[in-house]
Structure 1
């Protein structure tokens, strides 16, 4: 994206062709509206950036197939030069032609042609350089098939375009398209425009459209088209005075036969421009974040460095990209349709004025003529930035250039710094709509991402606070550690050869988030198909499953074993909410009935996209156990309804999941994550932990526990062992490793390598160890601070705890983590199950029992009584 400094933003509108409501496609589904198809094709246009092309920014879909396009715009065009009715000098003609050819050549490299080239679409920026506007109209409308108006202007259409005519398939289910125009057709249009600039006026003004087209086709009978045009319009003397290069240029552009006409690229390298081309250095698209090319800024400084800070009225906003400015403009209250309504480009009519015509018996007709509001209005409305600038008037220049190495808070110092600090504490949905706050976050993340991967640690740190929606996609990729020439690797994967899973993919895609306009477009379906096939082909040892379409790129690496995942989730419910766990087990409402789509698709199959974005902002910062906590947090939001209902009602409840407060869900899941011992969610085939984001260990926010200082240690003799799935299912409470137990108890010993944790002041223990061995074994050696509640005498026949001093201590610890330790796994699991039945939360059992602790030398022997 280029900065906005030499241009403005503009909006234009047009209608897509309406489809009949009673027609279906070959698959039996309703036809995709043409406006949706256009919206999908439009997306590639946002990636085409060149100094000679107006940058496309956004497209919105309104009522009755209306589309509104936002793009870079310039207030001057070649149309203004023609209004002066003065011939343009030969040197200026060559410069204009060269700049137009640069834009056309770049378009052609991306498989596009303009087809609508005219003086009003060749804009001039504030420095007088050319920018081609509306160059994507022909592409996004499928060469004009999806609209009811022709693409192009009759006076400038090439002869081969006119000869072909405008044909559209009458049957909307057909895939037949008219033969598309090639790059050479734009050269004819450019030749007519340059001819008009040379003579200082427009051609064909006195002729009707039919006569203009007829005259252009008749030019095929003459040898020198330039001379015939000059004679026809009485400007032969002007043409004779042109320089040889300009005359030769006109003749090459206005070659009747397309086979003899050069392409824009061929003409661009013609010797005609030998004096002009050195003025224009070759354009190199800046290297993307994930590429093999080095990324570097233009570090050229002026001879007098003091000139950098001389202008106190710098327009810092204009230095930002068009995309950023448009995003902030929308946050500040900008509305594309409203702007067009204010300029009377969009006019609404009362329903009574839109009644169709009807005929009387004598042939007289009454009613409205053709509604011209549905025709193409080529006007582009300039979008005013006054409201945005007023909103950002108190933002200082330092906000646009944050110091990344400064230890000060990320929020810059300005007259509104207090407001920014206050905004940082507001709910996420409000922060995302705050213009000033988003400006600061966008600028900061933009600088950090440009320094990726060297600033990976700071990206993690800032992502714990929030991620600006504008940069969410690229930030997610950075959080996942994506590096290198990813695009080249992706392109190298065979995504075209048929494979056995093609049929299932074709069935799944039309059902995946089809409420979203972009994902429901044919282009969206094609991207889904390519990404899924690329994953299947590049993972031959794995298989495609239903729901992978919802997960999709770039999080396909979250592969896990289905059944094991659900068993661990059941234990997490019992660990955090035993009352709810008991009820769900009693009615037989097991996770297999509702949670498979949750974890298989990381919740994308059950939540709309706008909620998934906020959820994944946090998911990517956590390890593979964090989804369990999200699942428990969802259940706790529905807790009252679940406890009050039986099996059938719960099934109905989850068949149409009620509204879930995602921000509350994230907040509560982080708290659940903090209370969950790391090894409690152990899975044999879980993704390995990522390396720490930084070495500071500082908890800068509530999300710190999800990443940098909450990493799994390398495996040791104290780590948790894998067990059979049947044994795992038989246990209600999760197991934790001896390693976790030692950390939670803050124990040290001669053979334990952990560094002691220094405590500045006494605090209430977070954990209680309950040793269920008999008293003799307990007295031979036990974990310091543990209590002895022998299994044989702990519960009544009904399963209630027997009252004694030890059980009284246990009850006083209700709500904290309780670890059951013993010799036999069967007894510890049964003891834990009894506690869960008695509604004790956070109960777990020590994996390996007391035998895992004995080699550490951490067991305590009570002093003999004197």
Structure 2
């Protein structure tokens, strides 16, 4: 019978009566206890000698009485029990005695009991303990020097012969107790308030007081900090459907490694129902990409110990093939394995979840990047990246263009894999923690932050030196990269990073990021501009909020017929001294306001003048999409000067 089915939906009234008759005929002293005990003894030989305590037997016999009137009330049940057996229990303790006993109990065993085994083991390792060292010390495993395990012969297909005994992993099948002295002493030395944060009862300032000045690497090794963060994030994840804003605010600081998998699912809005698509894919069938997978998977992030295992290779193959089978419009590009590796590591035993997260991630951040002909998508991404570089660092942009060092030479692997192909996994996790909290334009700003770290080297380098620099990136500070990319993301006008192939940003975001963008799809014209273009909607919003400097390069006659509010007329575009606009531009740069060039119908003049400003090393230059004609009839922006 299925669990949860009501008996009245299965049995008829006649069956009810027959069952009652049978029960009454088998009852002893009006109770069903004896028939039940006989049935249990006959059903299993292991409980054939089952003996029931006399007092317990009396209680059970009365509770199993056929007549409801013969069954005891809760008060009668308590009176049937012997209070002398409960003297050590807290049931009959007074509140004062119970409080005194709790205050006298100084150990923190209850904190460990509150945690899962995985969380307790993670904190145990943060206290300096090592499972491998303990197993070696207790002779549970035997280690040999790698030189002594070399085979005698290795053939072409990597089959090894000779010295097999030395390569065997020797382990004793016994139980070794892991000492917990370190973690207990650590938990005892801190107050429970540091671990069980009352995140919704105290002010935000007190919540952020501990560990704010520490780097993410140091925070991940701080046992007390991780214990408190894990508990807070767990609470927010359990209530994320009505605490989503609090969750986003909390993970903006950092994400605990033990909660990263669940937080990523929440940020990507992955539901359990999304995982069913994985089971409909035959990942064991032959696929056109099998040959390339055989080459790429064994080389994928081999510095990670788990990724070197045959189980990881098998799971990564299944994950990639499931994605390819469920998206027939896409093909396998080199680097897809690196893109899928972080999800495999986080959801190693939950492959359907890894598949759902990978699918959602690609749809949001790499839309149409894996088409068979993705040249238009890649070119648009690179052109917008180049224009954003001119916006935030005109001097570096001019230097790279002067030696013809274009983004095509170094940035394609960055954006095709969201930096998974060029960054190690432990650094990639920290970058993606911030990426998943923002829209699809954020990879562009990560690239700008990387160039900013290499700025001085690139300015002083030749073309060949720059090629060598990007062929093997130096060790970058990911904390600085993440901080710079967030600063660029907040500073640059969102419409300047518009790409027609990208998924639009959410409209519920506050302006200017939530504003509609009516920029036209003119990919062929995009490459002719050195600086980015501003949408009409964001231009109007910035003018109304006085967050932009507008320079009108039309003639004085046209400017007098109608101009943008608070705009400056500079018709002599051939005058490189910029006397009339130099000081306003410096003020705009100090306030981090964009400098927008507005012109007439002659697009070439606008393109030439904005390019001259970029070549002079002036940051923040952009143009309005469509020029003055696009906003001429907007009465809230245009006025006639006297």
Q: Residue in 2 aligned with 1:774? A: 555
| 2:536 corresponds to 1:738 | yes
Q: Residue in 1 aligned with 2:573? A: 794
Counting only pairs closer than 5 Å after superposition, residues 420-439 of structure 1 correspond to structure 2 as: 421-439=209-227
Q: How far off its partner does 1:492 sit?
A: 2.5
Counting only pairs closer than 5 Å after superposition, residues 816-855 of structure 1 correspond to structure 2 as: 816=592, 817-824=594-601, 825-855=603-633
Equivalent position SS for 1:544? coil
Q: Distance in 1 between matches of 2:504 and 2:297?
A: 30
Equivalent position SS for 1:834? helix
Q: Distance in 2 between matches of 1:613 and 1:672?
A: 20
Q: How far off its partner does 1:681 sit?
A: 0.5
**C-alpha contact 1:683 1:722 (8 A) present in aligned 2:** no
Q: Distance in 2 between matches of 1:581 and 1:274?
A: 86
CA RMSD of aligned residues (A): 3.4
Q: Residue in 2 aligned with 1:724? A: 522
Q: How far off its partner does 1:409 sit?
A: 3.2
Counting only pairs closer than 5 Å after superposition, residues 118-267 of structure 1 correspond to structure 2 as: none
Equivalent position SS for 1:315? helix
Q: How far off its partner does 1:403 sit?
A: 4.8
**C-alpha contact 1:448 1:459 (8 A) present in aligned 2:** yes
| 2:133 corresponds to 1:338 | yes
Q: Residue in 1 aligned with 2:246? A: 458
User: 1:315–1:407: structure 2 CA closer, same or farther, 3 Å change rule?
Assistant: closer
- In the alignment, structure 2 segments of 5+ residues that lack a partner are 1-39, 53-89, 150-164, 344-356, 368-376
| 2:354 corresponds to 1:556 | no
| 2:484 corresponds to 1:671 | no
Counting only pairs closer than 5 Å after superposition, residues 30-69 of structure 1 correspond to structure 2 as: none
User: 1:597–1:347: structure 2 CA closer, same or farther, 3 Å change rule?
Assistant: closer
TM-score (norm 1): 0.55
User: 1:325–1:775: structure 2 CA closer, same or farther, 3 Å change rule?
Assistant: same
Single out whichever of 658-667 and 522-531 deviates more from structure 2.
522-531
| 2:319 corresponds to 1:541 | no
Q: Could you report, residue by residue, the CA deviation over 1:274-317 in whole angstroms, capped at 9, with x for unpaired residues?
A: 999xxxxxxxxxxxxxxxxxxxxxxxxx9999999874436222
Q: Distance in 1 between matches of 2:404 and 2:541?
A: 36
Kindly indicate which of the two structures has a greater share of residues assigned to helix: 2
Q: Distance in 1 between matches of 2:529 and 2:188?
A: 62
Q: Residue in 1 aligned with 2:514? A: 713
Q: How far off its partner does 1:490 sit?
A: 2.0
Q: Residue in 2 aligned with 1:518? A: 306
Equivalent position SS for 2:623? strand
Equivalent position SS for 1:382? coil
**C-alpha contact 2:126 2:222 (8 A) present in aligned 1:** yes
| 2:412 corresponds to 1:635 | no
Q: Distance in 1 between matches of 2:256 and 2:505?
A: 26
User: 1:808–1:531: structure 2 CA closer, same or farther, 3 Å change rule?
Assistant: same
- The number of residue pairs the alignment matches comes to 513
User: 1:559–1:391: structure 2 CA closer, same or farther, 3 Å change rule?
Assistant: same
Q: Distance in 1 between matches of 2:388 and 2:565?
A: 27
**C-alpha contact 1:579 1:839 (8 A) present in aligned 2:** yes
Out of 579, 584, 587, the residue aligned to residue 804 of structure 1 is 579
Q: Distance in 2 between matches of 1:384 and 1:832?
A: 68
Q: Distance in 2 between matches of 1:272 and 1:685?
A: 73
Q: Residue in 2 aligned with 1:509? A: 297
**C-alpha contact 2:551 2:596 (8 A) present in aligned 1:** yes
**C-alpha contact 1:580 1:639 (8 A) present in aligned 2:** yes
User: 1:746–1:863: structure 2 CA closer, same or farther, 3 Å change rule?
Assistant: closer
Equivalent position SS for 2:179? coil
**C-alpha contact 1:689 1:711 (8 A) present in aligned 2:** no
Q: How far off its partner does 1:813 sit?
A: 4.0
TM-score (norm 2): 0.73
Equivalent position SS for 1:844? strand
User: 1:620–1:433: structure 2 CA closer, same or farther, 3 Å change rule?
Assistant: same
